[in-house]
Every structure is written in C-alpha cells, then in structure tokens.
Amino acid sequence: MTPFQRIETTAIEETLPAILLRIVSELHDVAYLIERIEPQLLDISGASMMASPEAMKVVQGIDLAVQKTRGIAEFIDTIAGTMPEGWTVDLATALSLVKLTEMQRALGGGGFHAHSQPMAKAAGDFDFF
C-alpha cells in the first residue's frame, strides 16, 4: 500500500462525549495493567531490588506511568463531561487503525464499560496474533 492509497471505510457516526468516555475506560484499564507489574517485579527480584538505584528508577517509572495514565483519563473525562452531547464524529478511519480487535470493539461500540482487556482472564490464557 502506498501513502496515497485510501482505505475505504463505512462511516460510523457517534457522539464525541461517548467516545471519550470509552477512551477513559481503556486508560483506566491500562493504568491497572501497568500497576500490576510492580509487585511482580518485586516477587521476581526480591528485596534486593530496593537497594539498586537503577531498579528503583524502573519502579518509579512504573508508578509515574500509572499516575500519568490516570491523569490523562481524568482530564479527558472532565472534558467529555462539559462537552455538548450533540457533537458527533466519524470513527471509521480511527477504528481501522486500532490493531487489537477487542480494543477496537470496546472503542467502537456498545457501552463505554465494555473493556478490551478482561480483568478476570485466567493465568496462562493468551491470544495468538
């Protein structure tokens, strides 16, 4: 595909506040998934990890990523709450760029509580891609 080819998509009109709330939901899921990494690192590395300045930078980076993700979610949530409900956008092109099928579904339709990453997935479950 060349940069000048246009991908044909069917228009999907939705209200912008509803779309933004689904993005907020996805960002909260991302923050939760990132947050789950820190205790796993401590389990793998043990208490000696806390003595390493480089390891502490990684742990602090994980904490910062969670805070930033939640901060962006709250920022978007606040904007969505003050936006007129009648504003609509076409999602078709944007959704075609999302590679994860479940995330595409969560962002593209249904209720905004349709998370793309089920939090109750059993350990050992994985998706082929």
* pTM (predicted TM-score): 0.74
CA 96 to chain centre: 16
Residue 39 and residue 95 in contact, taking contact as beta carbons nearer than 8 Å: no
Tally of CB atoms within 10 A around 72 = 15
CA 110 to chain centre: 17
Sorted by where each begins, the domain ranges of the chain are 14-89
What is the band of 62 on the pLDDT scale with cuts at 50, 70, 90? Answer: very high
Structure tokens at 98: 């999302």
Q: What is the pLDDT of residue 118?
A: 52
The model's pLDDT over 65-124, given as tens digits with 9 standing for 90+, comes to 999 999 999 999 999 999 998 999 999 999 999 999 888 888 987 544 555 555 555 455
Mean pLDDT of 17-30: 95
Q: Which residues contact 79 (CB under 8 A, 6 or more apart)?
A: 20
Mean pLDDT of 18-28: 95
Q: What is the pLDDT of residue 80?
A: 95
